[in-house]
Every structure is written in C-alpha cells, then in structure tokens.
Structure 1
C-alpha cells in the first residue's frame, strides 16, 4: 500500500478519523481508553445559551480540566471557584487520584495555585503568552 500526506481541507472534520485508530490502539494496548467527559455550563436565567463553564475528561485515574471560562461580567464572583470545586467533587466520585490542567502566563496560574494545584511542567516561549504551565492537584 502506498501512502501520502495531504493538508486537510476541513481540519475539524479530520479529528475523528485520526482519533479513531489511536483510540483503538490505546484500547488494545491498555484498555479503558475512551475516557468520560464532564461539563458544567454557565448560563443566564431563562436562556440556555452557554456563556462559559468547565469541560473535563476522566481517564485512567486522572481528571483533565481542558477548559475553564467565566464570562467577563461574572468574574470575581466566585464562579471559577465553584466550577473547580464541582469538578474536584466529580473527580473524587469517579475515583480519580489527580486533576491536571494547563494554563498560560497571561491566564490563571495564581487562581489554580490558590486551589491547591502546583506546576509539574513548563514550556517557555515569547511573552506574554508563555510560559505555559502544566499543573496538577493530587486527590489522595
């Protein structure tokens, strides 16, 4: 069989066809590779439009926080802390041993540190985007 590499015309549409064989490989190699998603939405009363929230994935005893966004008008009111507390409770309920996430220098490192996260890795680059911090919180 002959192979070639081509740029995807619709990168978002290419995700699942690329992910599927990797998932199958992971499943065969170590099992239980699907993961289980978790999400919390921030909305306004009477409107189901999502204005922010949290998205996470539990996999192999770890709880990855992929997205945390508090709407600008709601910042400083404790919503971020509430999101993270609910995510931590869910991680514990799922039997996860740790939570982890990444954040850039211009984002929320101090916020996560106040919640008990610590840096376990860092990628440096040009400011103000970098450094990028990889942070974890042990749950056991």
Structure 2
C-alpha cells in the first residue's frame, strides 16, 4: 500500500485534477499513514486510506480522516464518502460519524462492500441538537 501511495502522489503531481494526498510521518520522517482522494461537485471521496500495521490502534486513521474532512471543508464540500469491505475500517469510519448508505452484498470474495458518507456542515455549525 505504501508504494501505491507514493505512486499516487507522483501521478497527482503530474495531473491537473481536483485530487488530494495527505500523509502522516513519525518523528524520524518515516511514513506511517496516508490517504488520497478526489473532490467533485462539492463532495469529497477518500479512495484510499492506509495506516502502517505497526501503528494501527493509535488514532492515526482518525487523524487522517480529520485531515481529509478539513481539506474537503476548505474546498466547500458538503459531504465526504468512502467505501470498504474491511469490517475494522468500517468500525473506524462509523466511530468517526460516517453512516452506511449502500451495501454491495456478497462482493467478489463473499465479503460485503459498504459505501459510507458523512455530512460536512460548515465550520462552527452544530450538528447535534440541544438537550
């Protein structure tokens, strides 16, 4: 996956497309996570999210999602979406406020494939209801 992120970054640098590549490095500069995606029609799509296996469970996936959401908001996106067939990734996304809006049941290897999205209200706008 790391090599795919590097290749994606090089391709994005050469392309004239509304895309993004966000990376996270540790103190010594080693890449420990990243995500890439596209922006179209005020909607952001995270096409890949990767966290080094040794770094999982430390909040890095959440930090990358937060960065992708901030990037999308800064570009006037009103929602962000992602898809996965990994149950652990689905739990991460749902914990971050994403909701399943579609399921492709019994995908290629028998696993379900979930489509998730999250609304992105403008900064400062509350999405919870007062109690």
TM-score of the two chains, using structure 1 as the length reference: 0.67
> What is the number of residues matched between the two proteins?
106
Q: Are 1:89 and 2:70 an aligned pair?
A: yes
CA deviation after TM superposition for structure 1 residue 42, in Å: 3.2
What is the RMSD computed on CA atoms of the aligned residues? Answer: 2.1
Q: Please report how far the alpha carbon of residue 55 of structure 1 lies from its aligned counterpart in structure 2 after TM superposition.
A: 0.5
Structure 1: distance between partners of 2:19 and 2:108: 32
**Cα distance in 2 for residues equivalent to 1:50 and 1:92:** 25
CA distance in 2, matches of 1:73, 1:126: 28
1:105–1:128: 8 Å Cα contact kept in structure 2? no
Bigger relative CO (Cα 8 Å, ≥ 6 apart): 2
1:127/1:56 CA distance change after superposition, 3 Å: closer
User: What TM-score does the superposition give when structure 2 sets the normalisation length?
Assistant: 0.71
Corresponding residue SS for 1:111: helix
Listed as ranges, the gaps of 5+ residues in structure 2 are 1-15, 122-131
Q: Secondary structure at the match of 2:71?
A: helix
Q: Which residue of 2 aligns with 1:132?
A: 113
Q: Which has the larger radius of gyration?
A: 1
| Deviation (angstroms), 1:112 | 0.4
Q: Which runs of 4+ in 1 moved over 4 A?
A: 44-47, 126-129
Contact 1:63 1:99 in 2 (8 A): yes
| Cα distance in structure 1, aligned partners of 2:110 and 2:23 | 26
Residue of structure 2 equivalent to 1:38: 20
What residue in structure 2 maps to residue 120 of structure 1?
101
> What are the equivalent positions in structure 2 for 1:51-130 lying under 5 Å apart?
51-125=32-106, 130=111
Secondary structure of the residue that 2:77 maps to in structure 1? Answer: coil
